[in-house]
C-alpha cells in the first residue's frame, strides 16, 4: 500500500492539492470580498476581529517557519518532503489572506519574527518531524475551533472554519504517515 | 461558598495524564520551554501575568495584575476574553471544569519539572 493509501504519492498529492486548492480559493474570495463590506462598517467589533485574525496570523507564520525547519532538516524523504512543501504553501496562503484581511479591516498585520525557536534537538528522524508537525496542525485545528465562535462577523467565522478544515486534513495525513489512525474521533476539540 | 469548595475539589482532583492530552489543543501557539505565538509555560505558577522576558504581551494582559495559580488559571481558561478583555489569546475557552482541572494539573506538573530547569 502506498504512503497515503492512494495508487501513488503523486496521485495522492494531486488529489489533495486539487481539493484543498479549491477550498482555499473559496476562503480567499470570501475573506477578501467580505472585507470590502466590512471595511466600511464601524463599530467596536472590528478591533476584536482584528485581534483574532492577528493571533491566527502569528500561528500561521510560525507554521510556515516550522515547515521550513522540517524541509531543511535533511530528515524528510522525497515524497514526504514534497508534502511538507505543499502544506507549508497552504500556511503561506492562509497567512497572506489573513494579513490582507487585517489591512482591509484597518488593522496592522503582525510580521514574521526574525527568529523562531523549535525543538530541533529532539528531531532525530522523519517520524520525529512528522510528529512535531502533526502536533502543530492538531493545535491549529483546536485554535481555530476556539476562535470561530468569537468572530463578530459571520463571514470571518466561515473563512476561519475553512482554514480549520484544511489544517485538519494536514493533521490527518500526517497521522496516516506516522501509521496512526488518521481520524481518531468523530469530533475535533 | 459551596461553589468555591466544589472548584477547589475539582482542581485538587485534576489528572495530569488527561491534561497532557488536552494540552495538545494549545500547541499551535504555546510550548513549555519557549515563547511562541503565546508565552512559554515553564515557571507559570506564581508568575505575574505579562512578565515573561522577550514576549510581547497585549496591553490588557500587562494591566491585568493577575498572578498565575490554580484559581486564576481556572478563571482565565474558562473564558480568556471575559477574564482579560483585550487579551490576544483569542480562544473561546475550556468550559468543562474537569478538563480545566486536568489541564491545570498537567501544567503544574510539567512547568515545575526538570525540562523547565526545576
Grade residue A31 by pLDDT with cuts at 50, 70 and 90.
Answer: low
Question: Would you say residue A80 has pLDDT above 70?
Answer: yes
Write down the mean pLDDT value for chain B. Answer: 93
Q: What is the ipTM of this complex?
A: 0.91
Please give the residue of chain A at the shortest CA–CA distance from B34: A117
- For B:45-64, CB contacts with A below 8 A are 58
Grade residue B118 by pLDDT with cuts at 50, 70 and 90.
Answer: low
Asked if A65 reaches chain B (Cβ–Cβ under 8 Å), the answer is no
Residue B57 distance to chain A (closest CA, Å): 12
Work out the average pLDDT over B39-67: 97
Please give the residue of chain A at the shortest CA–CA distance from B30: A139
Cα–Cα distance measured from residue A169 to residue A167, given in angstroms and rounded to the nearest whole number: 5
Residue at grid coordinates 475553512: A162
Asked if A134 reaches chain B (Cβ–Cβ under 8 Å), the answer is no
Grade residue A28 by pLDDT with cuts at 50, 70 and 90.
Answer: low
Asked if A60 reaches chain B (Cβ–Cβ under 8 Å), the answer is no
Contacts of B34 in chain A (CB under 8 A): 117
Grade residue B13 by pLDDT with cuts at 50, 70 and 90.
Answer: confident
Closest partner residue to A135 (CB to CB) among B27, B35, B91 is B27
Closest partner residue to A150 (CB to CB) among B34, B58, B92 is B92
Task: Report pLDDT for B22.
Answer: 98
Interface contact A139-B89, CB threshold 8 A: no
Residue A145 distance to chain B (closest CA, Å): 8
Question: Would you say residue A32 has pLDDT above 70?
Answer: no
Q: Any residues with CB less than 8 A from the CB of A180 and at least 6 apart, and which?
A: none
Task: Report pLDDT for A27.
Answer: 53
Residue A57 distance to chain B (closest CA, Å): 9
Cα–Cα distance measured from residue A150 to residue B93, given in angstroms and rounded to the nearest whole number: 10
Cα–Cα distance measured from residue A135 to residue A130, given in angstroms and rounded to the nearest whole number: 9
Question: Would you say residue A164 has pLDDT above 80?
Answer: yes
Whether the pTM exceeds 0.90: the reply is: no
Q: Any residues with CB less than 8 A from the CB of B21 and at least 6 apart, and which?
A: none
Work out the average pLDDT over B63-67: 97
The count of CB pairs under 8 A between chains A and B is 66
Given a contact cutoff of 8 angstroms between Cβ atoms, the answer to whether B67 and B101 are in contact is no
Question: Would you say residue A86 has pLDDT above 90?
Answer: yes
Cα–Cα distance measured from residue A64 to residue A66, given in angstroms and rounded to the nearest whole number: 5
Residue B88 distance to chain A (closest CA, Å): 6
Q: Which of A9-18, A66-75, A109-118, A138-147 has the lowest mean pLDDT?
A: A9-18
Asked if B81 reaches chain A (Cβ–Cβ under 8 Å), the answer is yes
Work out the average pLDDT over B74-84: 97
Question: Would you say residue A22 has pLDDT above 70?
Answer: no
Work out the average pLDDT over A136-142: 98
Supply A125's cell numbers. Answer: 528522524
Q: Any residues with CB less than 8 A from the CB of A179 and at least 6 apart, and which?
A: none
Bridge partner residues of B67 (DSSP) = B48
Amino acid at each position: 500500500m502506498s504512503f497515503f493509501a492512494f495508487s501513488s504519492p503523486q496521485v495522492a498529492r494531486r488529489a489533495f492539492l486539487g481539493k484543498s486548492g479549491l477550498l482555499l480559493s473559496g476562503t480567499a474570495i470570501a475573506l477578501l470580498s467580505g472585507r470590502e463590506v466590512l471595511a466600511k462598517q464601524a463599530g467596536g467589533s472590528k478591533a476584536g476581529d482584528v485581534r483574532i485574525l492577528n493571533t491566527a496570523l502569528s500561528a500561521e507564520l510560525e507554521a510556515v517557519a516550522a515547515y521550513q525547519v522540517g524541509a531543511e532538516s535533511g530528515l524528510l524523504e522525497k515524497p514526504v518532503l514534497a508534502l511538507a512543501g505543499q502544506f507549508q504553501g497552504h500556511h503561506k496562503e492562509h497567512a497572506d489572506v489573513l494579513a490582507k484581511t487585517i489591512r482591509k479591516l484597518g488593522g496592522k498585520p503582525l510580521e514574521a519574527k526574525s527568529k523562531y525557536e523549535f525543538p530541533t534537538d529532539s528531531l532525530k528522524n522523519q517520524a520525529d518531524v512528522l510528529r512535531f508537525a502533526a502536533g502543530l496542525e492538531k493545535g491549529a485545528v483546536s485554535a481555530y475551533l476556539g476562535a470561530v465562535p468569537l468572530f463578530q462577523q459571520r463571514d470571518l467565522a466561515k473563512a476561519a472554519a475553512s482554514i480549520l478544515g484544511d489544517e485538519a486534513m494536514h493533521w490527518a495525513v500526517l497521522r496516516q504517515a506516522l501509521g496512526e489512525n488518521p481520524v481518531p474521533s468523530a469530533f475535533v476539540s | 461558598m459551596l461553589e468555591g469548595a466544589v472548584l477547589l475539589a475539582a482542581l485538587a482532583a485534576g489528572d495530569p495524564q488527561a491534561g497532557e492530552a488536552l494540552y495538545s489543543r494549545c500547541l499551535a501557539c504555546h510550548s513549555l520551554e519557549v515563547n511562541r505565538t503565546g508565552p512559554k509555560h515553564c515557571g507559570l505558577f506564581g508568575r505575574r501575568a505579562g512578565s515573561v522576558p522577550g514576549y510581547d504581551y497585549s496591553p490588557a494582559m500587562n494591566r491585568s495584575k493577575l498572578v498565575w495559580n490554580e484559581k486564576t488559571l481556572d478563571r482565565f481558561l474558562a473564558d480568556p476574553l471575559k477574564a482579560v478583555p483585550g487579551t490576544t489569546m483569542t480562544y473561546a475557552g475550556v468550559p468543562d471544569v474537569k478538563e480545566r482541572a486536568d489541564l491545570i494539573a498537567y501544567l503544574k506538573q510539567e512547568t515545575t519539572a526538570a525540562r523547565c530547569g526545576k
